Each structure stands twice: as C-alpha cells, then as structure tokens.
Amino acid sequence: MRRRGGPGRRGDGRIHPGCPAASEQYERKPAIVFPSSDEHTAIGGPMACDHRPLPRRTRFLTASAAVLAAGSLSLAPAEASAAARPRGHDVSSHQGSVGWPTARANGARFTYVKATEATSYTNSYFTRQFNGARSAGMLHGAYHFALPDRSSGKSQAAYFVRHGGRWRADGWTLPPALDIERDPYSTRTCYGLSRSGMVSWIRSFSDEVNRRTGRRPVIYTSTRWWNTCTGGSRAFAAQHPLWVARYAASAGALPAGWAYWTFWQYADGGSLPGDQDLFNGSMTQLRRLARG
C-alpha cells in the first residue's frame, strides 16, 4: 500500500534512508487511475514509507463511480451487484487525525488501520483511528506491514497482536490483515528470501495470528509480487481472504490459488482518506466476515 505510516518517517519528520525519495515514489504513479494500469507494485511506493504528501494531482471525480460499475474478472459466490459493494478505505499515521463522521457520510462502511511494522514500529495514531472508525459506525480492522528479512513470521505476528492486531467477536472487528509486498527499504523485491522461505514465513505469521486470535489473517498483496516471491503458492487461498492491490478499472488476474478477491484496493486517493477499497459482497456478508 502506498504512503503508509511507518519507519519511513520518524517523529522528527526525517525520511528513512531506505525509502525512496518523495519525488521518486510519486513520479511513477499514474495521474489518473483509469484506464487500466499496471498493478500497484510496479507503479508506486510501498505502504511502509510515509512521506509528506506532494500536491495531489487532478483526479476525475467519476473515478470511484467507474470502479463501482466495472465488473471483476473473478467474483465471489452470491455477491452483491458491483454498485452495491460496500466501500471502504485504509489509513495509517500518514492520515493523522481522520474525520470519521465525514468519511462515513461519504460512503465508507469499513476501514483497515495500520498497527505495526516488523517488530519495532507502531502507528502512534492507531488507537484514535481504530476507535474513531468504530464510533462513526464503521467496521474496522488492523493490518501489519511485513518485513520478512528483519525477524520471523511468528515474532512479527506476536508483536502485531500485542499492539492492536487483536480480533474481537463483537460483529465490528474485521480479521487481522497481513500486508506482504515488495521490500521498501532495498531493491530486493522478495527481501532476499527464497520462494519456499517466503511461503514458510507467511505460514509462520498466519499460524501465530491464528493461535492468538482464532482468525486466519486477510492477505494483502499484488498478483505480480505473490507469483514472483512465493512461486505462485496456492497454500493460503482456502483459509485466507484475499485483499488484492491493483489500481485499474478491474481487479484483474488474481494471485495463484484464489478464485475471487474479498477486498480490492483500487486507488491511492479519492473521496475517502487514504487508499480506496471495495468489499466483494454485500453488507450482510461483510458483517458475517467480521463475526467469524
């Protein structure tokens, strides 16, 4: 995910030396989401690096409507019509103090909030953002930005759950999510791990989250990254909802193993704070996912 809070920007506003410069990170983004563009890992910076925003480029106000009208190439069973899919967004420390009632009034029905990264970073806005979304009447969930070269999947999962990644069977809390994408701090797309090593890391993370929360995590990724860095592993599709990243008019081809997406991050800006997302179903189905 792009423009995310993390060690990319410290409290003093300095940019982490491993993150791309703001100009480099943004110059590869398409000025307009449509028509179809390459998947997000090829065109923009990672969600870990939290740069100060550049002046927002002009966007068509009809972009969200175009996405809602566009059909996905892989659809969930018994899903709602495209126009009825619940809209949501995901935020981090980059968004700071979010106006949640306004987001709700603009159509947001769910949100994911960045909680942690590796085993050394926590989002200082997490509690306010997470609780604020719930107070506004939105379903909410937490996500972790993985850095598989820093520590084990088990240790990062434990850190995540201790710092906001817990799940509650309250009907409002979405399953914890794992954000796994290209390395934002080096040129190593796959963090220096082999394909089998990456699969083992993800399995270790998932097992620990499941042990501590009773839920398997949602997996956020892009098709290109997944097929490159896991070798197209099909080991997770049966138990892990897919949150696919692709900034285009459709979700496109999905990572190996998944027949349909559960969440789709389709743009890095719009009428809601942060990245723009859709749920592939109805509100009833989204609430069912939250209930477990």
Catalytic residues: 90, 179, 181
* For the chain, counts of helices (H) and of strands (E): 9, 9
Report the alpha-carbon distance of residue 171 to residue 154 in Å, rounded: 27
- Whether 220 and 243 have beta carbons less than 8 Å apart is answered as yes
Nearest alpha carbon to residue 85 among 253, 259, 264, 217: 264
Tokens of 245: 């990243």
Q: What is the dihedral of CA 87, 172, 273, 5, to 10 degrees?
A: -130
Question: What's the maximum distance between 2 C-alpha atoms anywhere in the chain?
Answer: 49
What is the radius of gyration, based on Cα positions, of the chain?
Answer: 17
The CA-CA-CA angle for residues 260, 72, 277, to 5°, reads: 85
**Strand, coil or helix: what is 117?**
strand
Integer CA distances (angstroms), 72 to 33, 67, 145, 239, in order: 16, 9, 26, 21
Give which of 141, 73, 74 is closest to 289, Cα–Cα: 141
